[in-house]
Amino acid sequence: MIPNQIIELKEHQETLRIPKGKSGYIFGPDSSNLNRIRETSGADIIIIGKRNQSCQAIITGTKEQRSKAVVLLQESLGRSNSYSPIIGFTLLDIIPKLLLPMLSFKKVPSEDGCKSSVFPNDITHCKYTLEINPSPPNYSSFLSLRRSSPTFHKYNNNNNDLSFNNLSGKIYSFNTILQLDDCLAKIVDQISNKNLSHPSRNRYGNFHHHHQQKIIMDNSDNEFRLKINFGRELFTKISKTNLNLSEWNNLKRGYNGITTAFRHDDSFFDDEKIQKLKNTFGFKEINNFENKVDDREECFITVLYKEKEKKNKFKLQWNANEGRWKIIKSTKNISRQAIIDIVSGRSKSPDLRFLLKSQKRSSPISEKNHNIIYNIQKTDDFLKRNEDDSELMYFSQKDFNGKFKCTSVRQSIIKKQLTNDKYQMNFISTLQDEDGRITLEDTVNLINLSWISSPSPNSCESITTMDPKNPKFNESIIDTIDYARNISRAIGD
């Protein structure tokens, strides 16, 4: 990043101030967002300042290019907190009872390497995955370490508390699966407006230690969406590639710390692995669209928009009788409340992300939005696009220009669904139109059937109306995470 300096603007330049701590949202992973803004707007953009400090974007181009760049930059800043949960944990899937494993960060191959093309004096950090080495190469050295290491005794005396790292008022921590119960207790405290004060023993024999904190928001009028995704945890800003459990537990995020991201990945689930899931877990494949007449019947479209800085959405479904798309559900005040990422430590086993979102209980669909969707489908642009076989999406983000602040449009198809008596796995392919760029993402998720309040054949959304203070809420999450861990291990074996 170019250091702060006195700036003399030229005729075709203007500036935009980027608040402290927000520059990362402008850059995006490997500066992908900044490059996208440059490409979309046609403007040249240079960031002046220091990381984690207030800085400026110098925008050069025609008036139209600069104006478009400013809009895209401001949109990136406006979305900066959309995907940042209130509380999050990264847990290593290991119970170190007998061995003291070493951990290794493995560099992810990249065509671009680690050289930044954005800042002359800056380096783009490489991505890493994490693998567990089951035992040290020299077993006699390990035995000596086992007898003398305070770290070993710390983890084998079941004495490990959660170490919280406060970042911008939010709580993050690195630990092991031993602390899953404690993490969930902390999350339930958060979402139920309640601080538990009496420690209880968890399933691994450890005591919960409930840390007092301010309740950030009132969730009394909320319902919760729960799911577990399969993919790979990616780490950046890694300074040490080999570490032990104690060093893992002391990792920090943010300034002078590391960063993590979860990459959805369905490549773990080939036909052979899916057959293994059927044999091992009793899954059966279901097809809810075998009698479909129109391809549109198997799509569900989500329109996300902002209103008074709150994230909202409505879902569209094809109505074959009326021959048009109709809104079937409206949801408001969507917020990522908690994330637990579970790192398998095995190259052939997927990592997991448990995601808990809150949202207002389903609200009535406004007549205004019904009319917007109806009128869009009569426009020339919409009709031409839907007649063109080369077009990927039925609706576009630009369809909603001037109507409301649409942040993205998603078009999803359930490629495969597996179900047994307690769980459902969804294999989903989603096209997303965001800021003029269409991307494709294939995801695999697991949900507990008890989480689904109103199942429908064209939906894989899991909404629980269960009170978070009800012990069954916690139990269902723990059971489902353990089930997903077993699936991950089975896939890797």
For the domain 222-492, what is the CATH code?
Answer: 3.20.100
**Where do you find CATH 3.20.100 in the chain?**
222-492
Helix axes 180-191, 471-492, angle to 10 degrees: 140
**Where do you find CATH 3.30.1370.10 in the chain?**
13-79
Q: What are phi and psi of 326, to 5 degrees?
A: -135, 150
Unique residue bearing structure tokens 């309640």: 194
DSSP 95-140: --SS---EEEEEEPP-TTTTB-SS-TT-BPPPPEEEEEESS-S-HH
Contact at 8 Å (CB) between 444 and 426? yes
Q: CA nearest 413: which of 326, 314, 299? A: 299
Distances (CA, A) of 478 to 29, 85, 338: 31, 19, 14
Q: CA nearest 414: which of 458, 454, 453, 449? A: 458
CATH architecture observed for domain 13-79: 2-Layer Sandwich (3.30)
Residue 457 pLDDT: 43
Contact at 8 Å (CB) between 129 and 108? yes
Helix, coil or strand: residue 148: helix
Distances (CA, A) of 423 to 285, 302, 414: 12, 24, 16
Q: Distance (Å, rounded) from C-alpha 284 to C-alpha 275?
A: 10
Unique residue bearing structure tokens 């979402």: 191
Contact partners, residue 224, CB within 8 Å, separation at least 6: 191, 337, 356, 357, 358, 359, 463, 464, 466, 468
Residue 51 pLDDT: 60
Residue 347 pLDDT: 92
Distances (CA, A) of 195 to 173, 464, 467, 484: 19, 22, 15, 28
Residue 454 pLDDT: 54
Q: Distance (Å, rounded) from C-alpha 487 to C-alpha 447?
A: 13
- Cut 0.85: pTM above it: no
Q: Which residues of the chain fall short of a pLDDT of 50?
A: 1, 4, 80-82, 98, 111-113, 115-123, 137, 139-143, 145-160, 163-169, 194-201, 204-218, 455-458
